[in-house]
Structure 1
Amino acid sequence: MNLFDAVAVFAAGIAAGGINTVVGSGSLITFPTMVALGFPPVTANVSNNIGLVPGSVTGAYGYRDKLRGQRTRLLRLGAASVLGAALGSLLLLELPASAFDVIVPVLIVIALVLVIVQPRLQAYLRARERRQREHGGPGLWAGVFGAGVYGGYFGAAQGIVLIGLLGTALKEDLQRVNAAKNVLSALVNGTAAVVFISSWAIGRTGINWLAVLLIAAGSTIGGLLGAKVGQRIPSNVLRGVIVLVGLVALWRFLF
C-alpha cells in the first residue's frame, strides 16, 4: 500500500464512521475504496469490518443521552445481534470466495435501494401512531437476528435495515431509534471482528492490518464527528455520495 492508497483508506474510514453514526451504510464507502485499490474482496470485507468497530463504538457513545431507559431492550435485542452476526461471519468464512463474488453485488443493490428509499421510510415511521410493544416482541427479535446475519456477512446498510425494523416495531422517536441502532451495529461489527480475528489466528483468513489500523483511526474520528455534527450535513448530499460509491462498487464487481 503506497501513500496515496493509505490516505484514501484513512479518508474513507472517516467518511464511513460518520455515515454509519448518522445513517448507516458506511461500508459502501470503505469496501468499494479497498476493492478499487486492488484488495481481494473477502480480505477487504474482513479488514473493513474489523476497522469499523472503533467507529461504531464512538458513534454509540456519542448518542449515549438517547440511550437512557433502553437498557433492557438493548440487552434482549443485543443477544439477537450477536447470534446473527456470529452466524453471518461464519457463513462468510465457510462459503467459497466465488459465492461472495455472486452474493455481494446483490447485497449492494439491496443496500442502495434502502439508501434511496430511506426518506420515504422515515416519513412513514414518523406518521405511524400504532401501539407497539415496549421491546418489539418476538417479531422484532427475529428481524434483528436477520439483520445481524446480514451484517456479519457483509454489513453495508445494516444500519438502515435496523432503523426500519426498530422504527416500525417501537413507539420511539427516530433519534432514540438511531441511538439503539448504533449500539446494535457496534455489537454486530464487534462479534464479526472476533470471529474474523480468531480465524486469522489459525491461518484461515487474510487480514490487511495496515488497512484495519487506517480504517479504525478514521472511523473513530468519523464516529465522533457524526454524533456531533453529522446531522447538519444535507441528507440528499450524503445519500448521493453513498449511491455513487455503491454504483462504482457494482461496476467493479460486474465488469
Structure 2
Amino acid sequence: MSWWHVLLLFAAGVGGGLCGSIAGLASLTTYPALLLVGLPPVTANVTNTVALVLNGVGSVSASLPELRGQRAAVIRLVPAALLGGAAGAALLLTIPAEGFEKAVPLLLAASAVLIALPQGEHVADGPPSVTRRVVESLCVLAICVYGGFFGAAAGVLMLALFLRMGSEALAHANATKNVVLGVANGVAAVVFAVFADVEWLAVVPLGLGCLVGSRLGPAIVRRAPARPVRLAIALAGLVLAVKLGVDAYG
C-alpha cells in the first residue's frame, strides 16, 4: 500500500466520521475509498466494518453528556444489537461474493435516498409501553442485521426509529444510536476479524481518520448548514451507486 493510499484512507476516515455525525452515513465515504485502493467488494466491506469500530468509539465518547439518564434504555437494546450485528456478519460471510457485489449498488442507492429525506423529530408522550418496547427492540434487531451485513444508512434508520418511538430529544436519540450501532458494528467486526479476509494495513489509517472525524464532527455540525451537506452526500452516493451498478450488471 502506497503513501497515497494511506493518505486517501485517512482523509476518507475523517470524512466518514464527519458524515456519521451529520447524517449517520459514515460508510458512504469510507467504503468507496477502500474500493479505490483496489480492495474487492466483500474485503472492502469487512475491512470497513472493522475500521468503523473507532468511529463508534469517537461518537460514543463525544455523546457522553447526552447519555446521562439513558442507562436502562441502552441496556434494554444492547442484546438486540449484539444478535443483529452477529447475524448480519454471518449473512455476509455465507452469500456468494458475486451476490454481494450486485446488491451493493441497490443498498447504496437506497442509503442515498434515505439520507436526502428530511428527518422530523417526534417526541412520544409518556413512558414507553411494553408493546412499544418490543416493537422498538425488533426494529433495532432488524437494523443491526442490516448494519452487520453492509451498514450504510443504518444510522439514519436507527435515528429515525428512536425519534419516532422514543421519548428522547434529537441529541439523546443520536447518542443512543451511537451506542447501539457501535455495539452491533463491534460484534460484526469481531466476527470478520476471526473468519474473514480483513485488510489490516487499510484498517489503521481509515480507523484513525474515523476517530478524528467522529470527535470533530459534533463541533463542526453545530456551525455547518446540515441540509445542504446531507443533499451533497446523497448526490455523491447516487453517483457512486450508478457507477457500481454499471460495473456489476454491465
TM interval, shorter chain, is over 0.9
Letter of the structure 1 residue corresponding to residue 128 of structure 2:
R
- Paired residue for 1:57? 57
1:133 aligns with 2:119: no
Native 8 Å contact 2:22 2:226 kept in 1: no
Secondary structure of 1:155 counterpart: coil
1:142 aligns with 2:133: no
1:1-255 correspondence runs (5 A): 1-117=1-117, 119=118, 121-122=119-120, 125-126=121-122, 130-131=125-126, 133=128, 136-199=132-195, 205-255=196-246
**For the residues of structure 2 that align with 1:167 and 1:134, how far apart are their CA atoms?**
16
TM-score after normalising by structure 1: 0.90
**For the residues of structure 2 that align with 1:161 and 1:253, how far apart are their CA atoms?**
23
The share of aligned pairs that are identical, in percent, is 36
Native 8 Å contact 1:80 1:142 kept in 2: yes
Letter of the structure 2 residue corresponding to residue 133 of structure 1:
P
**For the residues of structure 2 that align with 1:246 and 1:39, how far apart are their CA atoms?**
19
Cα RMSD for the two superposed structures: 1.7
**For the residues of structure 1 that align with 2:191 and 2:29, how far apart are their CA atoms?**
23
Native 8 Å contact 2:9 2:202 kept in 1: yes
* Structure 1 unpaired stretches of 5+: 200-204
Native 8 Å contact 2:112 2:235 kept in 1: no
**For the residues of structure 1 that align with 2:110 and 2:147, how far apart are their CA atoms?**
13
Number of corresponding residues: 245
**For the residues of structure 2 that align with 1:245 and 1:56, how far apart are their CA atoms?**
23
**For the residues of structure 1 that align with 2:232 and 2:29, how far apart are their CA atoms?**
9
| 1:5–1:234 distance in 2 versus 1, CA, 3 Å | same
Native 8 Å contact 2:62 2:215 kept in 1: yes
Native 8 Å contact 1:82 1:188 kept in 2: yes
1:187 deviates by 0.7
1:248 deviates by 3.5
Letter of the structure 2 residue corresponding to residue 169 of structure 1:
M
Residue-by-residue CA offset, 1:216-240 (whole Å, 9 max, x unaligned): 1101111110133333222133213
1:180 deviates by 0.5
Q: Could you list the runs of 4 or more consecutive aligned residues of structure 1 that deviate by over 3 angstroms after TM superposition?
A: 128-132
TM-score after normalising by structure 2: 0.92
1:131 deviates by 4.4
